[in-house]
Homo-oligomer: A and B are copies of this chain.
Amino acid sequence: MKKAVILFSGGLDSTTCLALAKAEGFLCYALSFDYSQRHASEIHAARLIAKKMGAKEHRVVKLDIGQFGASALTDQQIAVPTYTESTDIPVTYVPGRNTVFLAVALSFAESISAYDIFIGANAVDYSQYPDCRPAFINAFEALAAVGTKAATLGHSFKIHAPLLHLTKAEIIQKGMALGVDYGLTVSCYQLDETGAACGHCDSCTFRKKGFKEALIQDPTRYQSTKA
């Protein structure tokens, strides 16, 4: 079986990515980050899902890019805003985040002789994030082609971004067809300590809209439901 490294947060997108990689026959090595993000209960969810979905390994890398601040996801001084339609890059943007995540994934992949890396980047809902665009994915693949020992030995790294052009509803439909239990996944930028979602940040908004458009009952546990 060919190995693949899956950037895996335990959220809706990356869990779908893991299911897709598994369906394509890859032996899956899930990789999560503890980067002082506000939603640390993500990591707990990620551990549970990776195990349940039969990942061969699940690594959690501590990575203190949160110390740089400058994002509502990592800086307690910046409030996570309620969703509003806008063409600006949101304050939840973490400087260079996907560049760092893919770089560490590349390091992990090379160390286990895996040449396939999956990332759940999405250019539809997250079109304002510069590191969720096709040009970014292509530029990273070009970098991996010159910056690794494996490449000098003739291996090509492929960055798979299978969700890049899908709507949230399409992502959910794909995942459901593969048996993903979305009730386990967490997307919210400001989960409470019980893991319940706020229901009104960007991430919750896209997720809610996705289930609605996919005509699938939303299994998310929201804070307002007091469930």
Interface set of A (CB-CB < 8 Å, partner B): 59, 61-65, 67-70, 89, 93-100, 102-104, 106-112, 130-131, 133, 135-136, 139-140, 142-152
Contacts and interface: CB of A to CB of B under 8 A. Distances in A.
Total copies of this chain within the assembly = 2
Contact of A143 (B93, B94, B110, B136): B136
The prevalent SS among residues of A at the interface is: helix
Given A68-B111, A103-B103, A130-B149, 12 more contacts: A61-B67, A62-B64, A68-B107, A68-B112, A69-B111, A96-B103, A96-B147, A99-B103, A99-B147, A100-B106, A130-B146, A139-B145
A106 B99 CA distance: 8
Contact of A110 (B64, B95, B144, B152): B95
A70 B103 contact: no
From A63, A93, A146, residue with most partner B Cβ within 10 Å:
A146
Contacts of A59: 67
A174 to B, nearest CB: 26
Contacts of A61: 63-65, 67
